[in-house]
Amino acid sequence: MKNVIQKLFSRRNLTIVLLTIFGFFGFLFALNYGLEKYNQSKQWQEIKKSAEAFQKAEQELYQKMMADTYGGKTPQETLELFIAAVEKGDYELASKYFVKSKQEEELRALQAAEKADIDNVIKLMKETENDSGSYSADRKTFIVRKPILTEYTFYPSGIWKIVEI
């Protein structure tokens, strides 16, 4: 029996057991490291896809902005064009002087509004024509604060669009 125990715990068997244990833990470590790298790779791929989708959407928006020719060369000219369209009752044309993302909303608002309300807003807007307003530091935004807040933005096509009234 003593002989069997000595053989069981011989240097060779202990070396094999220790190497097996170290090999097993080494395998687990390598597996964990590999899975971590795989997950990082997947995350980078998702980030890359998101960035590409964002870039594509940005390019599409830029193309739409370049194709949009409704607006004036100055914020005041855009306001004058908007007022003229509203006074003619051409709300569809008037809505085109707004930024692309607000055109449908503004068209519905103009169509649903009472004539007296529209006349009142137009009266106030005519008063803003005389207000000098202020440009942003990059000169791509123009804001008139009185008598009615009106914000404009400069499109890459060289025209000014209404952001908010």
**114 — phi, psi (to 5°)?**
-75, 150
Shared domain check, 152 and 79 = yes
| Residues 42, 87 within the same domain | no
The answer to whether residues 50 and 85 belong to one domain is no
Which DSSP string corresponds to 118-129? HHHHHHHHHHHT
Examine residue 147 and say whether the peptide bond preceding it is cis (omega within 30 degrees of 0).
Answer: yes
Residue after which a domain boundary falls, among 66, 89, 122: 66
Confirm whether pTM is higher than 0.75.
no
Would you write out the chain's pLDDT as a tens digit for each of its 165 residues?
A: 566 566 666 777 778 888 899 888 888 888 888 888 888 888 999 999 999 999 998 888 888 888 888 999 999 999 999 999 999 999 999 999 999 999 999 999 999 999 888 888 888 888 776 667 888 898 899 998 878 888 999 999 899 999 998
Sheet holding 160-164, edge to edge: 134-135, 141-144, 150-154, 160-164
Residues in the chain: 165
User: Which domain range does residue 54 map to?
Assistant: 2-66
